[in-house]
Structure 1
């Protein structure tokens, strides 16, 4: 399980900009581990906020993060 105590924003409230970035990363099929680094929050915090905001973290039917389809 992900470490829930690390991250530069640990314990801070999510801003509208944070949620918008989370949505953007999720739409881009970004893995939660990469989101964790980019947002400075634990994977557990990302999953919880995504669920609260109705943001799906399930992989979409498209190439994985960083891959370009031919």
Structure 2
């Protein structure tokens, strides 16, 4: 029996989320820590950072 893929709910980034992401970028916080704090996947955070034109992670 085939398993059905679980649908994920789309959670939009609020202004506060973007401010937090920029602050972590400036502080060079490791991506793993940011993902835990914001309860988002690392891929999601990387995509948003790329769209905003900022770098993420401590090693960039």
Q: Which has the higher helix share?
A: 2
Divergent runs of 4+, >3 A: none
Q: For structure 1, which runs of at least 5 residues remain unmatched after alignment?
A: 61-70
Measured on the aligned residues, the alpha-carbon RMSD in Å equals 1.9
How many pairs does the alignment contain?
Answer: 52
| TM-score, length basis structure 2 | 0.76
Q: For structure 2, which runs of at least 5 residues remain unmatched after alignment?
A: 1-5
| Structure having the higher Rg | 2
| TM-score, length basis structure 1 | 0.66
